[in-house]
Amino acid sequence: MIRIQHVETAQGPLLRKQNLVSLSITTAAGAHVIEAVNASTSDELRHHILELVKVAKEDV
C-alpha cells in the first residue's frame, strides 16, 4: 500500500452512458486498471484505498 502514488477515475462516453468508470491505481512499478466499476462504488473504493495508504505510511 505504501507504493501507491495515485488513484484516479476515468470515464469515456460509453462508460458514462452505463454510469460506470475505470479506476486506475498507479504505483512505482506501473499502473493497474479496474474497468467498468459502478460510479458510486468507485468513489467509495477510491477513498478506502487512500485511507489504507495513509495508515500504511503512518506505520512506516
Model confidence over 25-41: pLDDT tens digits?
999 899 999 999 999 89
Q: What does pTM read for this prediction?
A: 0.80
CB 33 within 8 A of CB 15: no
pLDDT for the residue numbered 8: 94
Sign of CA dihedral 28, 44, 19, 37: positive
Among candidates 19, 20, 17, which has minimal Cα distance to 36? 20
What is the bridge-based pairing of β-strands 30-38 and 20-27? antiparallel
Model confidence over 2-60: pLDDT tens digits?
899 999 999 999 999 999 999 999 998 999 999 999 998 999 999 999 999 999 888 87
